[in-house]
C-alpha cells in the first residue's frame, strides 16, 4: 500500500512555535510532518515497511499458543530470532494474525462500526484484537480485567460503549461477566475467550484461538476496502471513524468514555514517537495496563516506527520487567513512580544488566527529583523523561533530564501537533506567564468528546481548533516549560485559601524523605483542612513537630496537615490506586474522612475538675504544631479559622464552650484556662429534650394547649382538616405541634407574605447526579424537622402554630419533586422568577418545597427550592446547607444531632409572659420612649401603611450587585479595643443614615441571631445545650435609636471615632439580654404606655432600614461549599431596604461585603448602589487607625 515518507523521528525535533503574545501562558507546538495516516492505515503501512523486524514479544506466552501458518516473507530476520520459547512475532506476522482474526470475527457476524470490548491482560490476544478491530473498522474498547466483579461499572461501560463483541481474558473472567450482566452478554454478536484444553468456558462462548482457523483471505486483505461490503466498493476517508473508546481512570463513580478517532490516534502515536525520539532500534518494556491511554500508546507507539513492544508478563511484576530488560535488551521503560520504586527495590535489580536502557518515561503524577535520581541509582539509566498527558490527548508536553545532574522538575515544553494555554479558572483567558491557571489543551490528537455528550462544557472551539479544559492546575514559565501543581478538584480550600496537596507532598519527600499523600477532610470552621497519609513509619521517621516546623518554614502555617496517619492507621497496605498506579485521591479522602469521623464519635471523658492550662496547650499544639506556653498570646499564632477549630475541639474534648470573641479577649492561654475552668461542662441533651414518640402528639406534648384537652381537640381537628386534602392524616403523618415566636409570625409570616414564598434558591451539585441529590435531600430533611412542616394559624388567631410532619415517603413525595432537565446552571436561576414552579400556596403554608433537575451541560444535578422565612433564619439555613453539602460530598457521612427546635419554641411560648419577659419588654419600651420625637430621622420616608400588617405581595424586590471594601485595620480594632466587626458596620450605617436625614439621630432596625434560651436565668442557660446549634429560627429584630456625636455634644458624650465605637459596643452588650422581648408585647406596650402613634411609628421604623449581619463563609463574595455551588437567591423583602453584610478574610485582608435587598418601589437600583458605596466609605474611614482619635464630625456629613 502507498504510505507517507518515512519520518526520521530522532532527528526531527522541531522548536515550539509561540503565539503572537509570548507574555501570556499559551504555546503551540510545531505542526506534525504531513501526511499523517489514520490509525488503521498507519498500522498496515508500518507492518509492510518493517515486515520482518520484531514487533511483539510476549515473554509469558509460549510461541505455539496459537497455530498459524505464517507466510515465509514475514519471518523474523536471523539476527532477531532467539532460542527462547516464548512468543516472538514480526510486524508482518502480527498484521497477518490480525487479518486472520478479523476474518474470523467477520464470519461470526461482526460488522464495521460495532464496538469490540476486551477484558484482556497484556499479551498477544490484546495486541492482535486491537489490530483486528482497526482492520474491521470496529471501535476498540479496552476494559480492566480486575473490574469484572463491579457490576455497576461493567454494566455502565458495556452499555455506554454499545459493545457488540466481547473478548475475555480467561474462562473465570467470562463466567464473572455472565454472572454480572447476563442480558448484556447474551445480546453480544460474538463472545470469545482464550481456552486451553483444560479450560471450561461458559456456554455459547467460542474459543478465541479457533477464530484464527476460521479466518481466510488474510494474505489478500486490503485495509483500503471495507470487508463487510462487496470487494469492489470504494472507500472514502475514514479519519473521523471512531477507533478507540478509552474510559477515564475512574476517580468518579462512573467513568466517561473518551472517543478517539482514526485521525486522533494516528496523530497521537506520531507525536509521541517524535517526542521520545524513537527509531526501529527501540524496544519498550510494556508493563502498563492496556485499558489506559498510556498503555495503549506505549504498546503501539514503538511499533509505528518499526520498533518492538515487549510484554514481560500478563500484569505488572517487577521481576518479570527486570528479566525483560536483561534478556530482551529493552531500551525504554515506561513507569509511574510506584512502578519505578517497585522495580528498583526488587532484590535482583542490582544484579540485572540494565545497560540497554536508554530512557525511562515517567508521568501520570507528581514527579520529584528523588524519582529522577532513582532512575540512575536504582537502574543505572542516564536519561529520564517526564511527560504530561491526559486520557483526552497524548502527549501534551515532554521534558528530558540527566538522571545524575537534574536540579528541577517540569513536564517540559509543548510537543509537535499540540497547543496549550493556561487560563484563569472557569474562563478562556490565558494568564500571564508565571501565574497558575487551568490547563487547556488542543491538537489533532484531541478526542471528539465523551460518549453520551457528557461534560460537553469542558470543550470549546476557537480559531485554533477544538480545546479541552483539563481541570489540572499548571504554570508556564517564560521559556514555555510547564509545571503541573495538581488537580483543581484535589485542591484543599482552607477558609478560602487554596492548598495544593502536591506542594505539601513535594516538601515532605524532598526535605524529609517522607512518602505521603495529602487530602482534605471536612472542618466545621475552615471548610477543609489538609491531612497527610504517610506510606510507612520507620524508626528513623521525623517527629511530627519537626515535620510541622519544616512545612511552616517552606510553605506557611496553612499548609501544615491537621493530622498525620500511616497506611497502617487506616487499615491499608497501600494507597488505593488506578490500574496504572495513580493514587485515587477521592477514595483515599473518603477513607481518611471515615477514620476521622470514627475518632470524633467517641465521647470525651468527663473531667472531674476545671480546665487546666495543660489541656489547652495540648489542643493548641495539635492545631499549630508549635510549642506554646501559658503566656503565649493567641493573636500571635492563630487566625480566625484556627480559633474556630480551637473552640470546637475544646467543646468536643473538654465539654466546655467558649466563643471566638472570648478566645480573643482572653488573650493568653493562661487566661483562657481561667475562664473555662470557672464554667460547668456543657451538658448533653437532658432527658426529654428530644423525645421520639410513636404516633402523633397528645395534650401534654403540645405547649400551646397549656394542658387543656379541649384545646388539643380543636388543634387536632384544625390540623386534620388542613392536611387531609393534601393526602396526610393526623395519626400517620403528624410528628409534633410547635408554637411560633412573635417575629416569625408578625414579620416573616404576615409582612413578608406567608402565601408568597419568602426565599427561593438555585443550587447545583459538583459531582452528584439526580439520584444522589435525592438521597442527600432525604437524609438532610430527616435531620431538620422545620424543613418538613406547615404553618397554621392558632386557635386564638396568634401566634401561629407549626405542624411538624413525619419524615416518611409521603412527605418527601409532597415536598420534593422533579422538573425537566435544564441545559445550563443559569437556567435554574431563571426558573426562580417564572412564577410557575412555585405557585402561590394557600393554607396550610409549607415551609419547604424543592424541585430537582438534571443539568445537561454538566451531567450532574441541581435544584430550586422555596423556603418560608418563618421556618428558618440564617444560622438554621446554614446548618441545613452544611449538612446537605456534607452528604453530597460523602453520602455515608454521619450527621451530628442538632439541638431540637421544639425545646426552644416551647420555652419561648411558655415564658412569653413571664416576669423575665415582662422586664425585657419594659426595658425595650424605655429605650424607645422618645421615639415619637424622632420622625424626621426616619430614612427612607415611607407611606404610613408600610407597617407589619401591610402585605408585601405588591412589592417588587431585588438584590443589588455585591460590592466590597478592604478594611486592613479592622483586626486591630478587635485585638486592641475589643470592637467586633459588626459594631463598626453598625456605626457606619448609623452615620450614613444621619447624613441622609441631616439629623443627629439614626433610626433603623437590626437583626439579632437570638441564639440564647429565651427568658431563662443565666444559671439555667449554662445547664442547657448551646443554642448556636438549634435546628430552627431564633432571629429577633430590635429597633435602634443611635445619637450621633456632634461638635455641640456635651462633654460626657462620645465624640471621637474610638469613643463612638466603644459606646455602641457597650450599648449592644446592655441590650443583648432583652433581644427576645416579644415583638407584639413591645408594640402593644408602646401604645399603652406612650401613645398609639408610638406603636405606629415603631411599625414604620422597623420596616424602613434593617441591618442584617450574615454568618456566612465566602471567597470573593461567593458562598463556599465542597460539593455544591450556590447560584442565586430570590427573596421577598419585609423592609424598604435590607443592608445585608458580612466579613471575609483575616488580618490585613479583611473585607466588608455588602448586598442590599430592596423594594423597587421605594429604593431604586441606582440608589441601592450609591447607598452601599456610601456606607462602605464610612466603614473604611472609621476603621482607619489614623482616624480613631479624630472627632466623628470631622468627616463631613
Contact 423, 437 (CB under 8 A): yes
Query: Which whole number is the average pLDDT over 202-214?
Result: 89
Single out the residue in 905, 933, 963 at which a domain terminates.
905
Mark whether 751 and 894 lie in a shared domain.
yes
Tell me which residue has cell 416576669: 915
Residue whose grid cell is 430550586? 864
Are residues 748 and 892 part of one domain?
A: yes
Return the CATH number at 627.
1.10.1200.10
Statement to judge: residues 225 and 188 lie in one domain: yes
Helix 124-136 vs helix 293-301: crossing angle, to nearest 10? 90
> Are 656 and 628 in a shared domain?
yes
pLDDT of residue 581 exceeding 60, the answer is no
* Sign of CA pseudo-dihedral 839, 842, 847, 850: negative
pLDDT at site 634: 65
Q: Is 388 domain-assigned?
A: no
pLDDT in tens, 638-656: 555 566 667 767 766 676 6
Q: What is the pLDDT of residue 758?
A: 66
Q: Do the beta carbons of residue 493 and residue 499 sit within 8 Å?
A: yes
Sorting pLDDT into bands at 50, 70 and 90, what band is 366? confident
Do residues 587 and 640 both lie within one domain?
no
Query: Looking at residues 878-892, what average pLDDT do you find?
Result: 87
Tell me whether the omega of the peptide bond preceding residue 248 falls within 30 degrees of 0, making it cis: no
The answer to pTM > 0.85 is no
Closest CA to 1124 of 428, 276, 527: 527
Whether residue 162 is contained in a domain is answered as yes
Q: Are residues 632 and 747 in the same domain?
A: no
In a domain, 283, yes or no: no
* DSSP H or E stretch at residue 76: none
pLDDT value, residue 423: 92
CATH of the domain at 782: 3.30.559.10
CA distance 441 to 27: 10
The CATH number linked to 585 is 3.30.300.30
pLDDT in tens, 341-358: 889 888 899 899 999 999
The mean pLDDT of the chain is 84
Question: What's the pLDDT score for residue 838?
Answer: 63
Does residue 937 contact residue 1003 with C-beta atoms inside 8 Å?
Answer: yes
Least confident of 189-203, 421-435, 808-822, 1063-1077: 189-203
What is the extent of the structural domain holding 618?
Answer: 613-677
* DSSP string computed for 942-966: --TT-STTS-STT--EEEPPPEEEE
Give the separation between CA 851 and CA 864, rounded to whole angstroms. 5
Domain boundary among 215, 238, 261: 238
Do residues 92 and 83 lie in contact, with contact meaning Cβ atoms separated by under 8 Å?
A: no
543 and 631 housed in the same domain: no
Cα distance from N-terminal residue to C-terminal residue, the chain? 89
Give residue 992's pLDDT band: very low, low, confident or very high (50, 70, 90). very high
Residue 955, CB-side half-sphere exposure with 13 Å CA sphere = 28
CATH number of residue 189's parent domain: 3.40.50.980
Cβ(923)–Cβ(1074) below 8 Å: yes
Inform me whether the pLDDT recorded for 283 exceeds 90.
yes
565 and 633 in a single domain? The answer is no
- Looking at the fold, whether 822 and 748 belong to one and the same domain comes out as yes
pLDDT at 203: 86
* Predicted local distance difference test score (pLDDT) of residue 798: 53
Q: How confident is the model at residue 622 (pLDDT cuts 50, 70, 90)?
A: low
Number of neighbours of residue 596 by Cβ within 10 angstroms: 18
Place of cell 499523517: 36
Are 652 and 749 part of one and the same domain?
no
User: How many structural domains compose the chain?
Assistant: 4
Q: Which residue has the cell 455459547?
A: 204
Nearest 5°: CA angle at 324, between 320 and 325? 120
User: Counting Cβ atoms within 10 Å, is residue 343 exposed (0-12), middle (13-18) or buried (19+)?
Assistant: buried
Q: What is the pLDDT of residues 1108-1136, one digit of tens each?
A: 998 777 778 888 788 899 998 888 777 89
Cα-Cα-Cα-Cα dihedral sign, residues 93, 97, 100, 102 = negative
- In a domain? residue 1012: no
3-class DSSP state of 1068: helix
Residue percentage of the chain with pLDDT more than 70: 84
753 and 896 assigned to the same domain: yes
Residue at which a domain ends, from 652, 677, 702: 677
Q: What's the pLDDT score for residue 988?
A: 97
Residues 112 and 193 in one domain: yes
Which three cell numbers, joined as nine digits, stand for 544? Answer: 511530627
Most trustworthy range by pLDDT among 584-598, 984-998, 1100-1114:
984-998
Cβ atoms of residues 330 and 354 within 8 Å: no
In a domain, 121, yes or no: yes
Q: Which of 755, 759, 821, 819 is nearest to 787 (CA)?
A: 759
Flag whether pLDDT at 697 surpasses 50. yes
Amino acid at each position: 500500500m502507498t504510505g507517507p515518507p518515512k519520518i526520521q523521528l530522532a532527528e526531527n525535533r522541531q522548536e515550539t512555535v509561540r503565539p503572537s503574545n509570548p507574555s501570556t501562558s499559551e504555546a503551540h507546538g510545531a505542526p506534525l510532518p504531513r501526511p499523517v495516516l489514520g490509525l488503521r492505515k498507519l498500522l498496515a503501512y508500518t507492518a509492510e515497511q518493517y515486515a520482518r523486524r520484531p514487533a511483539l514479544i510476549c515473554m509469558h506466552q509460549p510461541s505455539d499458543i496459537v497455530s498459524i501458518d505464517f507466510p515465509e516473507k514475514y519471518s523474523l530476520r536471523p539476527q532477531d530470532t532467539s532460542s527462547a520459547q516464548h512468543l516472538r512475532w514480526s510486524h508482518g506476522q502480527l498484521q497477518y494474525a490480525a487479518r486472520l482474526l478479523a476474518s474470523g470475527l467477520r464470519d461470526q457476524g461482526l460488522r464495521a462500526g460495532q464496538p469490540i470490548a476486551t477484558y484482556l491482560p497484556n499479551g498477544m490476544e490484546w495486541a492482535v484484537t486491537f489490530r483486528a478491530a482497526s482492520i474491521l473498522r470496529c471501535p476498540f474498547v479496552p476494559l480492566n480485567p480486575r473490574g469484572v466483579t463491579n457490576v455497576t461499572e461493567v454494566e455502565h461501560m458495556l452499555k455506554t460503549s454499545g459493545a457488540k463483541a466481547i473478548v475475555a481474558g480467561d474462562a473465570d473472567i467470562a463466567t464473572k461477566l455472565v454472572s454480572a450482566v447476563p442480558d448484556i452478554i447474551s445480546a453480544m454478536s460474538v463472545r470469545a475467550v482464550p481456552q486451553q484444553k483444560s479450560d471450561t468456558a461458559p456456554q455459547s462462548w467460542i474459543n478465541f484461538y479457533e477464530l484464527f482457523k476460521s479466518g481466510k483471505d488474510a494474505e489478500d486483505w486490503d485495509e483500503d476496502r471495507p470487508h463487510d461490503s462487496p470487494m469492489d466498493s470504494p472507500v472514502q476517508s475514514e479519519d473521523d471513524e471512531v477507533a478507540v473508546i478509552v474510559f477515564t481512570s475512574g476517580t468518579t463513580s462512573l467513568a466517561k468514555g473518551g472517543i478517539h478517532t482514526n485521525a486522533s490516534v494516528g496523530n497521537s502515536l506520531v507525536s509521541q514517537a517524535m517526542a521520545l525520539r524513537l527509531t526501529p532500534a527501540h524496544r519498550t518494556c510494556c508493563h502498563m495496563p492496556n485499558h489506559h491511554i498510556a498503555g495503549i500508546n506505549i504498546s503501539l507507539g514503538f511499533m509505528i516506527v518499526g520498533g518492538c513492544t515487549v510484554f514481560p508478563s500478563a500484569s505488572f511484576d517487577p521481576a518479570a520487567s527486570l528479566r525483560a530488560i536483561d534478556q530482551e535488551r529493552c531500551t525504554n521503560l515506561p513507569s509511574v513512580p510506584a512502578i519505578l520504586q517497585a522495580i528498583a527495590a526488587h532484590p535482583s535489580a542490582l544484579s540485572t544488566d540494565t545497560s540497554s536502557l536508554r530512557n525511562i518515561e515517567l508521568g501520570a503524577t507528581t514527579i520529584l527529583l528523588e524519582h529522577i535520581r532513582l532512575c540512575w541509582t536504582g537502574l543505572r539509566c542516564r536519561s529520564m523523561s517526564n511527560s504530561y498527558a491526559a486520557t483526552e490527548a497524548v502527549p501534551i508536553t515532554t521534558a528530558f533530564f540527566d538522571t545524575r545532574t537534574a536540579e528541577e522538575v517540569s513536564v517540559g515544553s509543548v510537543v509537535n501537533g499540540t497547543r496549550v494555554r493556561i487560563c484563569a479558572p472557569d474562563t478562556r483567558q490565558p494568564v500571564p506567564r508565571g501565574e497558575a491557571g487551568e490547563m487547556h489543551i488542543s491538537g489533532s490528537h484531541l478526542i471528539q468528546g465523551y460518549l453520551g455528550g457528557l461534560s460537553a462544557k469542558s470543550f470549546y472551539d476557537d480559531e485554533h481548533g477544538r480545546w479541552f479544559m483539563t481541570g489540572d492546575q499548571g504554570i508556564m514559565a517564560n521559556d514555555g516549560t510547564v509545571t503541573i501543581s495538581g488537580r483543581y478538584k484535589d485542591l484543599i480550600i482552607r477558609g478560602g485559601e487554596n492548598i495544593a496537596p502536591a506542594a505539601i507532598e513535594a516538601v515532605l519527600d524532598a526535605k524529609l524523605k517522607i512518602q505521603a499523600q495529602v487530602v482534605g477532610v471536612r472542618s466545621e470552621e475552615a471548610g477543609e483542612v489538609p491531612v497527610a497519609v504517610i506510606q510507612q513509619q520507620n524508626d528513623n521517621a521525623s517527629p511530627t513537630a519537626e515535620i510541622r516546623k519544616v512545612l511552616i518554614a517552606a510553605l506557611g502555617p496553612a499548609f501544615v496537615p491537621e493530622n498525620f496517619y500511616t497506611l497502617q492507621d487506616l487499615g491499608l497496605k497501600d494507597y488505593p490506586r488506578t490500574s496504572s498506579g495513580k493514587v485515587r485521591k477521592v477514595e483515599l479522602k473518603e477513607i481518611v474522612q471515615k477514620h476521622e469521623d470514627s475518632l470524633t464519635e467517641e465521647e470525651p471523658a468527663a473531667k472531674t475538675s476545671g480546665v487546666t492550662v495543660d489541656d489547652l496547650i495540648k489542643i493548641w499544639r495539635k492545631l499549630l504544631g508549635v510549642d506554646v506556653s501559658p503566656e503565649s498570646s493567641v493573636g500571635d499564632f492563630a487566625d480566625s479559622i484556627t480559633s474556630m477549630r480551637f473552640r470546637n475541639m475544646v467543646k468536643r474534648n473538654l465539654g466546655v464552650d467558649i466563643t471566638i470573641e472570648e478566645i480573643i479577649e482572653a488573650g493568653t492561654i493562661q487566661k483562657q484556662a481561667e475562664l473555662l475552668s470557672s464554667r460547668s461542662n456543657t451538658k448533653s441533651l437532658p432527658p426529654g429534650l428530644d423525645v421520639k414518640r410513636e404516633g402523633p402528639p397528645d395534650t401534654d406534648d403540645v405547649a400551646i394547649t397549656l394542658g387543656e384537652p379541649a384545646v388539643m381537640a380543636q388543634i387536632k381537628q384544625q390540623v386534620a382538616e388542613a392536611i387531609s386534602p393534601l393526602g396526610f392524616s393526623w395519626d400517620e403523618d403528624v410528628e409534633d405541634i410547635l408554637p411560633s415566636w412573635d417575629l416569625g409570625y408578625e414579620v416573616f409570616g404576615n409582612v413578608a407574605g406567608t402565601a408568597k414564598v419568602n426565599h427561593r434558591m438555585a443550587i447545583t451539585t459538583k459531582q452528584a447526579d439526580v439520584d444522589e441529590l435525592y438521597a442527600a435531600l432525604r437524609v438532610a430533611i430527616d435531620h431538620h424537622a422545620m424543613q418538613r412542616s406547615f404553618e397554621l394559624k392558632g386557635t386564638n388567631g396568634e401566634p401561629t402554630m407549626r405542624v411538624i410532619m413525619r419524615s416518611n415517603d409521603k412527605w418527601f413525595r409532597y415536598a420534593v419533586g422533579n422538573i425537566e432537565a435544564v441545559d445550563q446552571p443559569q437556567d435554574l436561576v431563571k426558573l426562580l422568577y417564572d412564577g410557575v414552579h412555585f405557585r402561590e400556596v394557600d393554607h396550610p403554608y409549607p415551609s419547604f418545597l424543592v424541585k430537582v433537575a438534571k443539568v445537561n451541560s454538566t451531567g450532574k444535578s441541581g435544584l430550586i427550592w422555596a423556603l418560608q422565612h418563618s421556618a428558618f433564619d440564617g444560622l438554621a439555613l446554614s446548618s441545613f446547607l452544611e449538612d446537605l453539602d456534607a452528604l453530597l460530598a460523602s453520602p455515608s457521612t454521619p450527621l451530628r444531632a442538632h439541638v431540637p427546635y421544639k425545646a426552644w419554641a416551647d420555652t419561648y411560648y411558655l415564658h412569653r409572659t413571664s416576669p423575665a419577659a415582662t422586664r425585657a419588654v419594659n426595658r425595650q419600651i424605655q429605650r424607645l420612649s422618645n421615639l415619637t420625637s424622632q420622625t424626621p430621622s426616619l430614612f427612607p420616608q415611607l407611606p404610613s401603611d408600610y407597617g407589619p400588617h401591610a402585605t408585601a405581595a405588591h412589592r417588587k424586590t431585588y438584590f443589588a450587585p455585591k460590592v466590597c471594601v478592604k478594611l486592613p485595620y479592622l483586626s486591630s480594632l478587635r485585638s486592641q479595643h475589643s470592637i467586633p466587626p459588626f459594631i463598626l458596620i453598625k456605626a457606619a450605617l448609623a452615620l450614613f443614615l444621619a447624613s441622609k436625614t441631616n439629623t443627629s439621630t439614626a433610626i433603623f432596625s437590626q437583626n439579632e441571631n437570638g441564639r440564647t434560651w429565651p427568658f431563662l436565668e443565666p444559671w439555667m442557660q449554662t445547664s442547657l445545650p448551646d443554642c448556636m446549634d438549634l435546628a430552627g429560627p431564633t432571629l429577633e429584630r430590635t429597633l435602634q435609636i443611635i445619637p450621633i456625636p456632634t461638635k455641640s455634644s456635651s462633654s460626657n458624650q462620645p465624640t471621637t471615632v474610638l469613643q463612638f465605637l466603644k459606646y455602641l459596643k457597650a450599648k449592644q452588650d446592655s441590650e443583648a439580654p432583652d433581644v427576645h422581648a416579644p415583638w407584639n408585647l413591645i408594640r402593644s406596650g408602646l401604645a399603652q404606655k406612650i401613645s398609639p402613634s408610638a406603636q405606629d411609628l415603631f411599625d414604620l421604623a422597623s420596616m424602613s432600614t434593617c441591618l442584617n449581619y450574615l454568618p456566612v463563609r465566602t471567597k470573593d463574595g461567593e458562598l463556599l461549599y465542597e460539593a455544591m455551588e450556590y447560584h442565586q437567591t430570590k427573596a421577598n423583602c419585609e423592609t424598604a431596604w435590607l443592608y445585608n453584610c458580612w466579613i471575609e478574610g483575616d488580618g490585613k485582608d479583611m473585607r466588608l461585603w455588602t448586598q442590599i435587598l430592596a423594594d423597587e418601589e421605594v429604593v431604586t437600583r441606582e440608589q441601592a448602589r450609591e447607598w452601599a458605596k456610601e456606607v462602605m466609605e464610612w466603614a473604611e474611614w472609621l476603621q482607619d487607625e489614623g482616624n480613631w482619635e479624630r472627632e466623628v464630625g470631622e468627616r463631613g456629613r
